[in-house]
């Protein structure tokens, strides 16, 4: 990944993450406020509903008090209930009084709870009326000639003569009544009666808190007291729309901010990366040159080693057996010449700087012979009838030379041997360089091919890494078998031509 891209990504991350956290924080806070505001509205509405019901209760009681006064003065009604004259008057009484008082429900019950007169349902006469807990207000389902209806009922007591009576008055609780309670256009008010199994709240959210009222179902008799709830609801579509709006704005804000951040990051990373990239390029060039210098040093040393050996040998012979000098010189002349050739070609290749290896038919045995020269330490077991390989002779020589010099080093002056074996394989030629030297542990072998890994004073640690690269460049493969204290074998396979 380019430095500039990395810089851009880091800028992006550094800017975007806080932005996202900030954005999410705002969104969370907004949602919290909206919900809080909503709860406050609902609580306020619940308070208003309770106050409305209390006011309604007061109004009904006011009417009942007026009715009580009228009844006190009504001798005819007194005559009916005390002496039982004119039943018809009593039956009609509540109906007329209810209309005058502006009520929807009116009952006069005797001390046993039997209905003496009913305004909303004349036929209720003598039935047992609803038994209300206290003075109300109570929600009552009442029977009429046409069916039944719900009423908010309050009650009062009075005496006529020695008898006690109970007056029950109420107003109808219908959809208009509930709509009046709701007030807030976004909120709805609904009654939830006991054993109400309808799912009237589907598609709505119950936002409560509910207000409860005692409830008596008096359609078939006095009934018993249960609890009804007045529930505040809100259509969920509204809240969903609100949430969608918040999310939309949030996404838009994050997107715009992210875009701005990326543009800024792009501009900044270009400004910063240009000089830094120039410096990195310069550094990389220096490193490459350093590597090349080390490689040249290593290769030249390898080319000089056989020359030094021959020179030492000749010096020794000249000193000890001068008569044999011409003969020994002739014997070692080949080694000197091939080493000089090697160094010359090496120099020529480095002069070209990008040495494209010249692949042509190469005789592996010839290269091995040239490389080990007349060394007494290194034995050659050369296979017969090897096919030529498709490789650069110089490359092959560098490979063998590096492996042989490592093998010789591994013996380190002790008794032991180094053998270079060549043999024919399937479509390839195998070159094995084995020694009876110190061998390597698994850990050592793992590092042996690393650049600059060496265990030798004065070693560069580049030999094996060069070998590996050259083998791969020749389409060959490389294997190592090694045992600490026993020795190692490096096997190179090069495709035959």
Ligand X SMILES: Nc1ncnc2c1ncn2[C@@H]1O[C@H](COP(=O)(O)OP(=O)(O)OP(=O)(O)O)[C@@H](O)[C@H]1O
Chain contacts with ligand X (rule: CB under 6 A): 298, 402, 406-407, 410, 435, 437-440, 448, 453-456, 459-465, 488
Token match 């900044």: residue?
268
Beta strand spans in 365-497 (E): 378-382, 389-391, 418-425, 428-435, 477-483, 487-495
Encoded tokens for 5: 């891209």
Cβ atoms within 10 Å of 154's Cβ, excluding its own? 25
Task: Select the span of 134-142, 336-344, 425-433, 463-471 touching Mg ion (CB under 5 A).
Answer: 463-471
Decide if residue 488 touches Mg ion (CB under 5 A): no
Which residue's beta carbon is nearest to the bound Mg ion? 463
Report, in Å, the least distance between residue 434 CB and ligand X: 8
Pairing verdict, β 211-217 and 138-143:
parallel
> What 8-state DSSP symbol labels residue 57?
H
Report, in Å, the least distance between residue 286 CB and Mg ion: 25
For Mg ion, give the closer residue by CB, 460 or 477: 460
Decide if residue 406 touches Mg ion (CB under 5 A): yes
For ligand X, give the closer residue by CB, 182 or 478: 478
Report, in Å, the least distance between residue 400 CB and ligand X: 13
298 binds, among Mg ion, ligand X, none (CB under 5 to 8 A by kind): ligand X
Please state, in angstroms and rounded to a whole number, the distance separating the CA atoms of residues 197 and 5. 63
Encoded tokens for 163: 């008898």
335 binds, among ligand X, Mg ion, none (CB under 5 to 8 A by kind): none
For Mg ion, give the closer residue by CB, 351 or 457: 457
Work out which of 119, 129, 130, 463 binds Mg ion, going by CB under 5 A.
463
Report, in Å, the least distance between residue 311 CB and ligand X: 20
Token match 């050259």: residue?
470
Decide if residue 303 touches Mg ion (CB under 5 A): no
40 binds, among ligand X, Mg ion, none (CB under 5 to 8 A by kind): none
Please state, in angstroms and rounded to a whole number, the distance separating the CA atoms of residues 431 and 382. 9
Residues 375-404 within binding reach of Mg ion (CB under 5 A): none
For ligand X, give the closer residue by CB, 358 or 450: 450
> 95-106 burial, b if ≥16 CB within 10 A, otherwise e?
bebbeebebbbb
* Closest by Cα among 476, 470, 473, 475 to 491: 476
455 binds, among ligand X, Mg ion, none (CB under 5 to 8 A by kind): ligand X
For ligand X, give the closer residue by CB, 323 or 457: 457
Report, in Å, the least distance between residue 406 CB and Mg ion: 4
Let me know how many helices (H) and strands (E) the chain has, helices first: 10, 16
Q: List C-alpha distances in Å: 103 to 49, 67, 100, 284.
A: 20, 11, 8, 100
339 binds, among ligand X, Mg ion, none (CB under 5 to 8 A by kind): none
C-beta separation of 164 from 113 below 8 A? no
Cβ atoms within 10 Å of 175's Cβ, excluding its own? 9
Report, in Å, the least distance between residue 2 CB and ligand X: 32
223 binds, among Mg ion, ligand X, none (CB under 5 to 8 A by kind): none
Encoded tokens for 94: 């509540």
Beta strand spans in 173-301 (E): 187-192, 204-206, 211-217, 225-235
Task: Select the span of 193-201, 355-363, 380-388, 406-414 touching Mg ion (CB under 5 A).
Answer: 406-414
Token match 């090496």: residue?
346
C-beta separation of 60 from 103 below 8 A? yes
> What 8-state DSSP symbol labels residue 128?
B
Encoded tokens for 23: 């954005």
Report, in Å, the least distance between residue 293 CB and Mg ion: 17
Report, in Å, the least distance between residue 411 CB and ligand X: 9
Residue 212 makes CB contacts below 8 A (sequence gap 6+) with 227, 228, 229, 230
Report, in Å, the least distance between residue 459 CB and ligand X: 3
488 binds, among Mg ion, ligand X, none (CB under 5 to 8 A by kind): ligand X
For Mg ion, give the closer residue by CB, 231 or 399: 399
Report, in Å, the least distance between residue 387 CB and Mg ion: 29
Token match 């959809």: residue?
175
* Residues in touch with Mg ion (CB under 5 A): 406, 463
């Amino acid at each position: 990944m380019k430095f500039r891209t990395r810089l851009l990504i880091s800028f992006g991350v550094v800017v975007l993450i806080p932005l996202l956290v900030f954005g999410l924080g705002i969104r969370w806070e907004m949602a919290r406020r909206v919900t809080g505001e909503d709860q406050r509205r609902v609580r306020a509405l619940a308070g208003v509903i309770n106050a409305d019901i209390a006011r309604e209760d007061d109004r009904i009681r006011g009417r009942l008090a007026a009715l009580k006064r009228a009844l006190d003065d009504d001798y005819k009604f007194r005559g009916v209930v005390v002496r039982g004259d004119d039943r018809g008057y009593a039956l009609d009484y509540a109906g007329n009084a209810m209309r005058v008082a502006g009520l929807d429900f009116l009952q006069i019950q005797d001390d046993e709870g039997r209905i003496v007169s009913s305004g909303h349902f004349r036929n209720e006469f003598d039935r047992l009326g609803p038994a209300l807990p206290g003075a109300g207000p109570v929600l009552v389902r009442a029977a009429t000639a046409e069916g039944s209806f719900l009423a908010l009922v309050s009650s009062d007591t009075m005496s006529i003569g020695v008898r006690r009576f109970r007056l029950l008055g109420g107003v109808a609780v219908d959809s208009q009544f509930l709509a009046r309670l709701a007030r807030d256009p976004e909120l709805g008010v609904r009654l939830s009666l006991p054993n109400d199994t309808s799912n009237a709240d589907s598609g709505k959210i119950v936002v409560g808190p509910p207000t409860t009222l005692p409830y008596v179902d008096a359609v078939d008799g006095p009934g018993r007291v249960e609890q009804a709830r007045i529930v505040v609801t809100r259509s969920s579509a509204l809240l969903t729309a609100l949430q969608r709006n918040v999310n939309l704005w949030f996404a838009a804000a994050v997107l715009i901010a992210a875009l701005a951040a990326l543009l800024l990051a792009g501009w900044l990373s270009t400004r910063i990366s240009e000089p830094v990239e120039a410096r990195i390029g310069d550094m990389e060039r220096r490193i490459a040159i350093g590597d090349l210098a080390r490689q040249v040093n290593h290769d030249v040393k390898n080319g000089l080693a056989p020359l030094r050996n021959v020179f030492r040998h000749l010096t020794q012979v000249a000193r000890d057996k001068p008569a044999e000098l011409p003969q020994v010189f002739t014997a070692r002349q080949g080694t000197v010449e091939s080493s000089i050739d090697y160094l010359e070609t090496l120099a020529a290749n480095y002069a070209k700087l990008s040495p494209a290896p010249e692949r042509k038919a190469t005789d592996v045995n010839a290269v091995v012979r040239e490389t080990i020269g007349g060394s007494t330490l290194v034995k050659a077991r050369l296979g017969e009838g090897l096919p030529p390989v498709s490789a650069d002779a110089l490359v092959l020589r560098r490979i063998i030379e590096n492996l042989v010099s490592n093998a010789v080093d591994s013996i380190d002056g002790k008794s032991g041997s180094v053998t270079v074996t060549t043999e024919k394989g399937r479509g390839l030629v195998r070159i094995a360089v084995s020694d009876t030297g110190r061998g390597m542990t698994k850990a050592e072998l793992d590092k042996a091919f690393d650049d600059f890994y060496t265990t030798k004073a004065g070693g560069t640690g580049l030999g094996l890494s060069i070998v590996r690269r050259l083998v791969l460049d020749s389409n060959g493969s490389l294997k190592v078998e090694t045992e600490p204290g026993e020795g190692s074998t490096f096997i190179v396979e090069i495709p035959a031509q």
